[in-house]
Amino acid sequence: MERQRVIVERLKGAAQVTVAELAMVTGASEMTVRRDLDVLAAHGVLRRVHGGAVSATPSGVEPPFAARAVSATAAKQAIAQAAVELIRDGETIVLDSGTTALEVARRLRDRAVTVLPLSLHAVTELLDAPRVRLLIPGGEPRPGELAMVGPLTLNSLKALRFDVAVLSPCAFSLDAGLTAFDLDDAEVKQQALAVSARTLALVDGAKWNRAALAHVCAADRPDVVVTDPTAPEDQRQALAERGVLVHVAEEH
């Protein structure tokens, strides 16, 4: 059916699509779009989330950095801004890799903080930041991602202690917790957690109810989860009941 083909094509270029967006593109009613999404979900083409759908990406397949960098950008920017507002001047920060963490780096450029980024993308962003004390870890950058991994990265983290770890997991669910596609990346995230006094997890709505290959930590391990309004409200409430501060960042 042509409508369903359009839906699949839209999902190829975005991490998440909304019912309202699809209704506008296809000219169909929102009720009809919801039925189409249910059919496609039953065939394993996509997964239904609150207000729309996300691609049913296999847990071992990581979407390219360039594709993630242009998906859900408004939500990621809002989440990054909310996260930065939870960081105080003078604090030491270990900043995870990932596209949302890169948005955080951009917003830290004028802050008086010490930052150890776990991505060369973020290192480049902060190189000429006038007030940032920039620490650069050892290690091996993953191709494309430019995330730092390996024994040298782990040793860099073990030698330090941070006020804040800012983590950007690949997927998140109440049962599976924070997960990552790459085993080495998951290990680096775990070490960042271990050497930090508190943790902010940046989880846009498209990552909820999903699981990647490698376990990082339980869902209630971070002190704060910063998300957006598309994250399932019932699960946000369930996470808050476990003692996690759930901060919902509104797009501006």
Interval 58-71: pLDDT, tens: 555 555 544 444 45
Q: How many CB atoms lie within 10 A of CB 211?
A: 17
Which helix (H) or strand (E) is 235 found in, with range? helix 233-241
Gap between the Cα atoms of 193 and 163, Å rounded: 10
Residues 91 and 148 in one domain: yes
- In 3D space, the residue among 97, 118, 232, 96 whose CA is nearest the CA of residue 166 turns out to be 96
Tell me, what's the pLDDT at 206? 84
Q: 115 versus 99: which is more confidently predicted?
A: 115
Residue indicated by tokens 């024994």: 151
Residues 72 and 44 in one domain: no
In which band, very low, low, confident or very high, does the pLDDT at 151 lie, cut at 50, 70 and 90? very high
Residues 13 and 126 in one domain: no
Please, what is the average pLDDT of the chain? 89
Q: Does residue 141 contact residue 120 with C-beta atoms inside 8 Å?
A: yes
Which helix (H) or strand (E) is 46 found in, with range? strand 46-49
Gap between the Cα atoms of 54 and 202, Å rounded: 18
Number of structural domains in the chain: 2
Residues 43 and 103 in one domain: no
Q: 68 versus 171: which is more confidently predicted?
A: 171
Residue 217 belongs to a domain = yes
Residues 239 and 159 in one domain: yes
Task: Name which of 22-31, 65-74, 107-116, 218-227 the model is least confident about.
Answer: 65-74
Percent of the chain residues topping a pLDDT of 70: 90
Tell me, what's the pLDDT at 62? 52
Q: How many CB atoms lie within 10 A of CB 198?
A: 13
Residue 55 pLDDT exceeds 80: no
Looking up residue 120, the CATH number of its domain turns out to be 3.40.50.1360
Tell me, what's the pLDDT at 210? 86
> What's the rounded mean pLDDT across residues 46-61?
72
Q: Does residue 198 contact residue 223 with C-beta atoms inside 8 Å?
A: yes
Residue 160 belongs to a domain = yes
Task: Name which of 1-10, 61-70, 87-96, 144-153 the model is least confident about.
Answer: 61-70
Structural domain of 75? 65-248
Q: How many CB atoms lie within 10 A of CB 41?
A: 15
> What's the rounded mean pLDDT across residues 90-106?
95
Gap between the Cα atoms of 191 and 241, Å rounded: 26
Tell me, what's the pLDDT at 75? 84
Residues 154 and 73 in one domain: yes
